[in-house]
Structure 1
Amino acid sequence: MFLLLIMLLIILCIGLLWLWVNAVFLREVTSLTPTTAQPLVSILIPLRNEEDNVLALIKNLKELSYPNVEVILLDDGSTDRTAERLQSSIQDNKAFTIIQGSPLPDGWNGKVYACHQLSRLAKGEFFLFIDADVRLHPETIQYTLAHMEAERIDLLSGFPNYPLIHKGVQLLVPMQHFVVWAHLPMFIANRTNHAAFTAACGQFMFFRKNAYVAIGGHESVKNSLLEDVHLARRMKEYGWTMKLLNISSLVTCHMYTSMRSLWEGFTKNIYVGIGQSKVLAILLSGYYAFVYLFPFPLAIYGIVTFQPLYVIPYLLTVLQKWIVDRKTGTHGSFAWAVPISASLLIAVLATSMYKAIRGQSYSWKGRMYT
């Protein structure tokens, strides 16, 4: 038991150092002064059964302070009141265009095809793809363009802040931040074109148009269930500059309002996200079970036996999660639940892998994917 304790302490201390180094190379999007340049930016948004998001989305986009923008929204075969609410909220605002999506062709992922259609109508020098549940700070575009121009970035992406909507959802969704901070070497990811060291988030993908076109756009990943990462990898493979920034101070995403939708969404993406590698899935599950789940019963043992040293690993896991949560705007109280978050992550990865191995389809927004 004592050897396990020492091993945990070493791993967790290394993890704290790793988080500190990553914090240096994962820059805040607000670290530069907003640009005064005004190239045309196309904001491109696919919507499928998003009636609950439409009004807040349009209101938010109307509040953007960037003056040279076109917003194109695609209704992707919605069966609810999405189209009706789009029309009533936009009215005659000339900055907005609504289009009806074409039927989904064979071999295409639904969202990917919607984004492809949007890109073909966009006139901007820059393309910003966001989801319907994303909300932007009024100066988001100015700050983002400042980095695009100063650092010659061709694709800028990042993970939004995820506000507290549902406590169960909050236990898992912000783990996206934690996984990236805890595992991706930011120095390599943001300073080189090694495609293997890449993360991206489809909720915020800001492309330079000529780079997007050069890699074949969304058509080049038409059957992907993880198109954001695959597009980012293609950018690097073709020699374009892709960077991940901390955008959580300017971009929020009201992602998933129920555990059911969360489970379907994560199950669809997580196993694909690790390259459908059984070995990596088992190693990651074992790592999270040992490093982030096991410290909790170890702490209970330490309390019961009056050995406070055994409580330290759990406190270090909480500290790691708290550091990431603080940097990304997640409520700090959820750091204490890191064993539950780790358990949910392991469970959804196991479910995703099981479905893939058995050849079962993933369900998302009324469509089935394999």
Structure 2
Amino acid sequence: MTATGRAPRAAGDAVWSGAVWSGAAGAALVAAHTVLNTRRWRRPPPARPVGERVSVLLPVRDEAARVGRCLTAVLASTGLADLEVIVHDDASTDATADLVAAIAAGDPRVVLQRGEGPPDGWLGKPHACHRAATAATGTALVFVDADVTLAADGLARAVALLRDTGLDLVSPYPRQEAVTAAERLVQPLLQWSFLALLPLRLAERSPRGSLSAAGGQLLCVDAAAYRRAGGHAAVRAEVLEDIALLRAVKRAGGRGCVADGTELAVNRMYTGAAELRDGYAKSLWAAGGGRPAASAGQVGLLGWLFVLPVLAALRGSWAGLAGYLAGVASRWVTARATAGRAWPDAAAHPLSICALGWLTALSWWRRHRGTLRWKNRHLP
């Protein structure tokens, strides 16, 4: 080979080596940050009696298989002196409303609202939450999804966390059940994303909307702060209404954060590959602020940090191996902190990132074609 031929190859090798080393270093920093975050993560206090009126708000649509278990657990809550439960049925096509009505007939704490679907300009879940919150009379509002099962002291501890921290909104993240291979591959990325990548205590203090994480599965907010922020009317068209609500609270001068809800509730968000695919496809396009370039940048960054090192390791790179192990360590630490399955699932972290990239691309493709759907409704 001539000197002319060797020069481009040497330059290419240098670029590759630099990318691998920098990616591995970045993965190591993420692992260290994950350890720090899990130690500083807000955790609920021990159970104690709650004297204020607590309103549990349950938006449902076609949840006949889940709503009974969820509502039974809510009504079995301990430590609450004054509880009301408002269920807004969003025009279910199954037996959801009838099941709730049967439970409400035997417990005066439960109120069933029968809705006819969202008006123009609203998405279904924000509208259902808005309608339920409009009727609420509690000083603390707790939004719960139908696929969540609360521990007996879960509500009391969530409200105590809200009051003890002095925050306006807390989102105790439930323990996630992941059963099938697809669920185990993708679901742990949710809690990993904020524990590994978001500086939680800084995000709690910062008014910046970009430093926000929340989960609508279990979300506790001060009623006055909720109304100052405009409530769900302020996020009526948002697919990721939970994060958007926290941003609205911040714009109104409040503070909030995602917290450890591992002991408070359990949640199986999706059951099986098809439901998981459609669930993420409906919303991942919005995770980058609705900008394709931002979504591509996010996926590219994750690929550089957690996929490139393992590719290099397969070619014999020690730096690549170190980067791969750092990514695995980050996932392992997250799993241990959230009562998830640590091993061997953490070893598949690069595959999880690849799956996330595919789901993000699918989400944008469906949005481009106008084929986004959820709960038998078209999403704009």
TM-score by length of structure 2 reads: 0.90
Deviation of the 1:60 alpha carbon: 1.4
Spell out the pairing of 1:217-236 with structure 2 (5 A cutoff). 217-236=231-250
Which residue number in structure 2 is paired with residue 176 of structure 1?
190
Q: Does 1:290 align with 2:299?
A: no
SS at structure 2 position matched to 1:51 = coil
Deviation of the 1:343 alpha carbon: 0.8
Paired amino acid for 1:10: A
Q: Does 1:318 align with 2:328?
A: yes
Distance in 2 separating the partners of 1:39 and 1:167:
43
SS at structure 1 position matched to 2:257 = strand
Paired amino acid for 2:65: D
Any idea what the Cα deviations from partners look like across 1:143-196, whole Å, max 9, x if unmatched? 222222222211111332111332212211221111112221223211232222
Distance in 2 separating the partners of 1:153 and 1:17:
27
CA-based RMSD:
1.9
Structure 2 unmatched runs, 5+ = 1-15
Distance in 2 separating the partners of 1:58 and 1:237:
33
Distance in 2 separating the partners of 1:295 and 1:5:
6
Deviation of the 1:234 alpha carbon: 0.9
Q: Does 1:132 align with 2:142?
A: no
CA 1:325–1:94: 2 relative to 1, 3 Å: same
Q: Does 1:13 align with 2:24?
A: no
Spell out the pairing of 1:7-86 with structure 2 (5 A cutoff). 7-29=22-44, 32-67=45-80, 68-86=82-100
Deviation of the 1:242 alpha carbon: 1.4
After superposing the two structures, state which structure 1 stretch, 116-125 or 93-102, moved more: 93-102
Which residue number in structure 1 is paired with residue 342 of structure 2?
332
Distance in 1 separating the partners of 2:114 and 2:357:
39
Distance in 2 separating the partners of 1:315 and 1:81:
48
Paired amino acid for 1:41: V
TM-score by length of structure 1 reads: 0.92
Aligned length: 363
SS at structure 1 position matched to 2:352 = helix
Q: Does 1:362 align with 2:377?
A: no
Distance in 1 separating the partners of 2:206 and 2:183:
34
Larger Rg: 2
> Among the aligned pairs, what percent are the same residue?
26
After superposing the two structures, state which structure 1 stretch, 122-131 or 182-191, moved more: 182-191
Which residue number in structure 2 is paired with residue 115 of structure 1?
129
CA 1:309–1:115: 2 relative to 1, 3 Å: closer
Q: Does 1:350 align with 2:361?
A: yes
SS at structure 1 position matched to 2:175 = coil
Please say if residues 292 and 339 of structure 1, whose CA atoms lie closer than 8 Å, have aligned partners that are also in contact: yes
Deviation of the 1:254 alpha carbon: 1.3
Deviation of the 1:118 alpha carbon: 0.5
SS at structure 1 position matched to 2:363 = helix
Specify which structure has the higher proportion of strand.
2
